[in-house]
A and B are shown apart, each in its own frame.
Chain A
Amino acid sequence: MSSVPRFWRSLGSRYNLEGTRCKECGEHFYPPRNFCVNCRRVGHIEPYRFKGTGEIISYTVIHTAAEGFEDLAPYTLAIIQLDEGPRLTSQVIGDPEKIHIGMRVRSVFRKLGEDGEGGMIYYGTKFVPEDA
């Protein structure tokens, strides 16, 4: 799936939805950015932990899985807009038939995938229906 250090250095973001926001313009960033796309050089980036609630903008049920995700297929992947504004790509757990555009969701901590038998197991954020 990925190299260990590449995953490890973003654990805070992947486990706890830690992103950033710019004090100058107020825009929130998740995935985190350390350079404000609006203010650029004059921006002031600070850490921000997202509440983890939002809504589904679009989604798909993936049948032909990505490398490392074969055991999960079919799985639901969605673009989710967090209540603070930014959008991210994440899996949604639950009955694919009940998932719909505009559905409210909240983040949960889950296993993402693994590097084969005996390899590293990856954990991170997925989403479930807000009332689940």
Chain B
Amino acid sequence: MQDTPNIRVKSAGHENGVKNMRDVAIIGVKNTKFGELWGKSLRDIVVEAGAGALADAGVGGKEIDALYVGNMSGGRFIDQEHIGALIADYSGLSKNLHVPATRVEAACASGGLALRQAIMAVASGYNDIVIAAGAEKMTDVGSEEASSALAAAADREWEGMAGATFPGIYAMIARLHMHRYGTTSEQLAEVAVKNHKNGSLNPIAQYKNKITVDDVLKSIMVADPLHIFDCSPITDGASALVLAPADIAHKYTDTPIYIKATAQASDTIALHDRRDITTLDATVVAAKRAYSMAKLRPEDIDLVEVHDCFTIAEICAIEDLGFAEKGKGGIVTANGETAIGGRIPVNTSGGLKACGHPVGATGIKQAVEIVTQLRGEAGKRQVEGAEYGMTHNVGGSGATAVVHIFSRER
């Protein structure tokens, strides 16, 4: 479908099915409310998400073999490292049970990567019941400190020290996309408008207000051509999943959702070193690996949660994942093809833009949304008859991409 660039995709060893590996299912999910949660600490929200996911799965603490948690910057946001141990402790998994807990970090892709680690732990047979969680508490510092912490996802020495901000880096992607393909500010705004509309249907979303293209275009300019409404917000939130071997998943739930693919790819840390500024090669390669592993094509996917940290990021994502021809992402969005009820609904949760972007939690939240949709429990934002869903989680400006494919049937 998409005219993907001719990038050599090195085998990651598992594309054609993993030998001697077990199928993995998700048996429990939970998101906390996303937003400015002044009254709650990181440990409060993680425990809420973890306990909720375990209750959803009907799993007790003694059954848990391991815990993986995505967290980008506890050190900067709450002056706390050793997040894995902290979370295991306050989840009641340490003092008596001594469950191994591992923090996973890949900037904004930390959550997606935590899920990938958890999948590999179960698939390998090393563990049975594993929790994949993600959390970020971002509002305990001011917005300047938070922005500086987020900018650490880029190359501090050769982007940051030149005066680059994160919106500035994505603005340069947007500028070239507009120059080369004729993408317009209105088309970028349509991404935010759609995601706010979806967010208005999601009880946990940070922003439930609908906005117009005009609202976006009249909002203050952060880094030309990106307005503040082109940017995802600063958010507190936590999400958790419970994973089990597919063979025993029905012991816990009538509606296990199966992992069909887990894939990851890396690219240069700095945007300026990329093969092409308007393509996230890491996304292209991770997607190719995921489609190959799942034996599926873009047209088989019923809905996708993509990493819309900025509106331009969603445009690039739907192109790089194969849902739109390169350069046509803006047109496809403006045509309504990515809306609920459209050809390929994108970010039914409201995405990072409206649901919120607690960076370490985002990759897990995306999976919670897809599981909820594939179970048929998404209420007003339900994509009818969804069989296959995808998540796409990006670290930095594209130095890490993680893609997962989920299925209702094993």
Chain A residues in the interface with B (C-beta under 8 A): 1-2, 6-7, 10, 14, 31, 57-67, 69, 72, 75, 77-79, 86-91, 96, 101, 112-113, 122, 124
Contacts and interface: CB of A to CB of B under 8 A. Distances in A.
B386 to A, nearest CB: 37
Contacts, number: 105
A88 B172 CA distance: 12
Nearest to A100: B179
B158 A63 contact: no
Nearest to B175: A58
A8 B354 CA distance: 42
Contacts of B277: 57-58, 79
B224 A60 contact: yes
Overall SS of chain B's interface: helix
B162 A77 contact: yes
Interface size class of B (residues with CB under 8 A): 35 or more
Contact of B179 (A2, A67, A101): A101
A77 B157 contact: no
A66 B165 contact: yes
A19 to B, nearest CB: 11
Interface of B: 144, 147-148, 151, 156-165, 167-168, 171-176, 179, 220-226, 270-273, 277
Given A58-B172, A64-B222, A101-B175, A112 B161 contact: yes
Nearest to A10: B157
Nearest to A57: B277
B162 A1 contact: no
B176 A77 contact: no
B162 A89 contact: yes
Contact of B224 (A31, A63, A66): A63
A10 B160 CA distance: 14
B170 to A, nearest CB: 9
B143 to A, nearest CB: 10
A113 B163 contact: yes
A55 B272 CA distance: 13
16 contacts: A59-B175, A60-B171, A60-B174, A60-B175, A61-B224, A62-B223, A64-B165, A66-B160, A75-B163, A77-B168, A77-B172, A79-B272, A86-B273, A88-B158, A89-B164, A89-B271
A63 B227 CA distance: 10
A8 to B, nearest CB: 12
Nearest to B231: A64
